[in-house]
Structure 1
Amino acid sequence: MEETQHCNPLLQRRRAGVLLHPTSLPGPHAVGTLGEEAFRFVNWAASAGFSLWQILPLHPVQGDGSPYASISAFAGDPRLIDPARLAEAAGIVDDGRPPADLLALAGETVAGEGHALHAAYRAFLEEQGPVWLDDFALFCVIRSLEDGRPWWEWAPELRDRQPQALERVTRDHADALERVHFEQFVFAHQWRAVRRHANDCGIMLLGDMPIFVAHDSADVWAHPDLFDLDEQGQPRTVAGVPPDYFSETGQRWGNPQYRWDRLAETGYAWWIRRVRRALETVDALRIDHFRGFEASWAIPAQEPDATRGYWFEGPGAEFFEALAGELGSLPVLAEDLGVITPEVTALRERFDFPGMRILQFAFEGGDDNPYLPANHDEVSAVYTGTHDNDTTVGWFASLDPDQQQHVLNVLGEPDAAAAMPWPLIRAAWASPACIAIVPMQDVLELDGEHRMNRPGTVEGNWSWRFEWDQVPAGLAEELRALSEAHGRLPADS
């Protein structure tokens, strides 16, 4: 395909991508880290012809491990910090001590003015402190002092951010605040190295930004005026989706709704800071629940489900014009799954944002199903499945024999049942869509036991990891040949 004339960097040529969150990388720690295995994965992905690595949100998680319910829309997940690289950068010995102790020792070392990282650390504090880091550190320290209770249950003077109370915490807990600061610096330092290596290998990092933020987060605590809260910090309305074919009561997510009127009065300053910080971390962004910028389902907070909600107008084009005015062209991919109105589609198309086409959704209904490959357009991203889907092997196995045969007939591979997921991968790569992305589980032909998330459940999710012995010899070459056949290799390959 010839180079296209799009302002969105994601759309300037055909690309192939792989979806894998860094926590799913192999390694000896509780989750994958930004160490040797991250660099090894980048090298493998580049050899396989991928030019996009899609990840989930990189923010700190709460109890259920979901990266979509973080205590911060700006901070990095400290679990991803690699101890060996931390020790090497700080010039100390990784003797197997607990991560918190290792961080403390590294922080003391880097605090010395003669250390190679000292100037970088001070610059990080000066740049990020006023934007989000100072509030985040206060939130973390106070949360610990308050035994992990949500911020609206804190002592009133801390809940309401009374200056004298915050000054007292700053004075009395300076060491604890410094540990949070340093932890975030280490995460940013290590992630920057991984991103630089990926970019050097011709791979863009595609991040993920949920439209809403968690009620119990540093963001809502620090900026309560931007959210629909009462005087005690409780939401008046929360986000969700209305009843539909899949749920008679809809979905009540519980995130507080934005006060878009107040955000507009500031020129959307908080959102601009958020997106700017995200694009300092990744090369492009998938925005989750994009339709919420046109209208979102607002549910009165006292309602137990989503049935009594109503459509709440979003900021629309004015919002993205404000972002573009400050940040330039927006490398955004819009998550536009579900019931999408013409107004949402018009908003997406106005700003040259590709939408998502999930092949697992393509085989129900008639020929007008928008997920069918024949109905894809160039300004879109096609997926075999996402982090919320079953693996393609698991999905196909769940179909009855007639449904399986229908899928294969539509794909033009009627005798390929035993070869799933490759018929679906080939269909994605052959699609007119500019971007084609496959989850790592599908690359490895794994069944439903290896899926990342089961929506509507709270246990057993977000913990999947792969091992290198699951990667067959010759797989990278096979994937690279597929990308070459469909014009998806990087330009200099």
Structure 2
Amino acid sequence: MGERENEKRLSGVLLHVTSLPSYGGVGDFGPAAYAFVDFLVTAKQRLWQVLPLSPTGYGNSPYSALSAFAGNPLLISLERLVDDGWLTAERIAGLAGHEGAADFERAKMEKLPLIEEAAKNFLEHAPEDAKGRFQRFIQNNSSWLADYAMFIVLRRRFDYACWNEWPEEFAYRHEAAIAAVLKDHAYELAIEEVVQFFFDEQWHALRAYCAEHGIRILGDVAIFVSFDSADVWRHPEVFELNEKRNPIRVSGVPPDYFSETGQRWGNPLYRWQYMQERGFDWWVARVRRSLVLYDMIRLDHFRGFDAYWSIPAEEETAVKGVWVKAPGHELFGRLKDVFGELPFIAEDLGLITPEVDELREHFGMPGMRVLQFGFSDRGSHLHLPQNFIPNTVVYTGTHDNNTTLGWWREDASELERKNLQTYLEPILHEGEVVWAMIRAAERSVANICIVPMQDVLHLGSEARMNTPAAADGNWTWRYRLDALHSDFSAQLAVLMEMTDRDGYVSPERERIEIVSAAPESASSI
């Protein structure tokens, strides 16, 4: 029958898994996640957007990952490990609780050893059916799993130094050194593989629960990867590295209104021509893994697939970078050949050229609009609903923005406040701005509307998830255990009905669609 017209109008909530009030100090795939899905269902939401689920490196940022393929062990639920019999309830007593900011360091000290203990119990006592699932997991992920496990074991052995600081035989993956690790650290390697198996089983159980309740998962794929990652260590040929395997050029964005020196992100750049000659096999593998994890994928920094800012690695700022053309058409053409229709959303914020728009439109990807950006001047009006087209994803704000209430209180200029009230409604009490923005986004023609959970809960800047360029204090927000009040879900549910984002099909429309989709009768041939 194909997708009904009403199925295109979706609404969802942006909430990273670590922001759940889970037991153990960091949000995970445990009971709080299932309670959140139940809240989404009651609120008639049909999307859950998460940030990258990768194991984090610098600053606990989901965008600073140790692997583009692996899952973050901290997202594994200890309660579910107890339910599955790999730990006893007594072993997980006394850990960080459900309340307060995410405590990554405490979770690493207390939670990770328990997850590894559960992995040991699995290796020693797993029944045959569980062993069979584990072996299938290993086979299905053979392109990355063993290398990631070895990377983690070696990283621990060398006191968490960056891989290019390891002894040369390990940094350069000499055959004898790798063989010795496989022999001498086999049990440690197996533990890391079981940890990834736990992640996979728990995530897919949660995703199945979402599917049963009509919730799709919108994931996130960062365009670049971290230098200190299993990806660069295992595939140095894919990146712009010199003979000492240091970056030649790195990623960033040029100077602009917000920063006179630009932003130097520091990720190694791809050797795109080499990738293209190999049929973009690394990207094919990455997207294949992402499609196992998610129903839809947001491509971070989409403009970099058309052209990217290339900065000499020795430069401390982004000033002396240059734009370099990327083979975006060839890449997405290859991905379409392999996977068919691409369920991608393009993060096309910032300085976007006609070439970037053409690339996105050629492959039918929706772009993004953010209401908070729409009130500064006439040039910002592309972020206001009158300029939307249906193939758009609208946000009140993103994980990089302040919350809507925090923006209104602290960041919005007097002109922005005046323009917002002209466009929406007079704001007599500051809390009114949140629902005014949510209603504007949901009423728009954009097929997809995403609201950060902080806006659903009417929270201020104390709940901000990330402040770009801030050295610390990011990624730690969690909502309170008692925050999912029925008033919030009821307000959203009514709004979904009025904006036709709840998936409703009238009986008459259902009958017409069924008849129109039926094959022609033999008498009409």
Structure 2 match to 1:50: 45
Which one-letter code corresponds to 1:110 in the other structure?
F
Equivalent residue pairs, number: 486
Following the alignment from structure 1 to structure 2, what is the Cα–Cα distance between the partners of residues 26 and 180?
A: 26
Which one-letter code corresponds to 1:95 in the other structure?
E
Structure 2 match to 1:190: 202
Following the alignment from structure 2 to structure 1, what is the Cα–Cα distance between the partners of residues 29 and 505?
A: 27
**CA offsets, 1:216-252, max 9 Å, x none?**
0000010000000001110000000011111111110
Which secondary structure state, in structure 1, belongs to the residue aligned with residue 327 of structure 2? coil
Structure 1 match to 2:443: 430
Following the alignment from structure 1 to structure 2, what is the Cα–Cα distance between the partners of residues 446 and 418?
A: 9
Alpha-carbon distance, 1:122 to partner: 1.1
After superposition, residues 41-80 of structure 1 pair within 5 angstroms as 41-80=36-75
1:19 maps onto 2:14 in alignment:
yes
Q: Assess if the C-alpha contact under 8 Å between 1:4 and 1:12 holds in 2.
A: yes
After superposition, residues 22-421 of structure 1 pair within 5 angstroms as 22-90=17-85, 92-97=87-92, 98-111=110-123, 112=125, 114-128=127-141, 130-366=142-378, 369-398=381-410, 399-413=412-426, 415=428, 417-421=430-434
Which secondary structure state, in structure 2, belongs to the residue aligned with residue 361 of structure 1? helix
Alpha-carbon distance, 1:449 to partner: 1.0
Q: Assess if the C-alpha contact under 8 Å between 2:397 and 2:404 holds in 1.
A: yes
Following the alignment from structure 1 to structure 2, what is the Cα–Cα distance between the partners of residues 429 and 188?
A: 33
RMSD value, Cα: 1.8
Identical aligned pairs, as a percentage?
44
Which secondary structure state, in structure 1, belongs to the residue aligned with residue 482 of structure 2? helix
Following the alignment from structure 1 to structure 2, what is the Cα–Cα distance between the partners of residues 456 and 429?
A: 31
Alpha-carbon distance, 1:367 to partner: 6.5
Following the alignment from structure 1 to structure 2, what is the Cα–Cα distance between the partners of residues 439 and 176?
A: 39
Alpha-carbon distance, 1:108 to partner: 3.8
**CA offsets, 1:174-230, max 9 Å, x none?**
111111101000001000011000111101000000000000000001000000000
Q: What TM-score results when the alignment is normalised by the length of structure 1?
A: 0.95
Following the alignment from structure 1 to structure 2, what is the Cα–Cα distance between the partners of residues 353 and 81?
A: 32
Which secondary structure state, in structure 2, belongs to the residue aligned with residue 464 of structure 1? coil
Q: Gapped runs of 5+ residues in structure 1?
A: 6-10
Q: What TM-score results when the alignment is normalised by the length of structure 2?
A: 0.89
Counterpart among 479, 488, 494 of residue 475 in structure 1: 488
Following the alignment from structure 1 to structure 2, what is the Cα–Cα distance between the partners of residues 320 and 339?
A: 21
Following the alignment from structure 1 to structure 2, what is the Cα–Cα distance between the partners of residues 201 and 425?
A: 23
Which secondary structure state, in structure 2, belongs to the residue aligned with residue 239 of structure 1? strand
Q: Assess if the C-alpha contact under 8 Å between 1:17 and 1:438 holds in 2.
A: yes
Q: Assess if the C-alpha contact under 8 Å between 1:206 and 1:285 holds in 2.
A: yes
Query: Aligned pair in 2 of structure 1 residues 4, 293: CA closer, same or farther (>3 Å)?
Result: farther
Which one-letter code corresponds to 1:121 in the other structure?
F
Q: Assess if the C-alpha contact under 8 Å between 2:73 and 2:112 holds in 1.
A: no
Q: Assess if the C-alpha contact under 8 Å between 1:381 and 1:435 holds in 2.
A: yes
Q: Assess if the C-alpha contact under 8 Å between 2:373 and 2:380 holds in 1.
A: no
Which secondary structure state, in structure 1, belongs to the residue aligned with residue 501 of structure 2? coil
Q: Assess if the C-alpha contact under 8 Å between 2:376 and 2:415 holds in 1.
A: no
Which one-letter code corresponds to 2:315 in the other structure?
E
Alpha-carbon distance, 1:474 to partner: 2.0
Which secondary structure state, in structure 2, belongs to the residue aligned with residue 433 of structure 1? coil
Following the alignment from structure 1 to structure 2, what is the Cα–Cα distance between the partners of residues 108 and 367?
A: 58
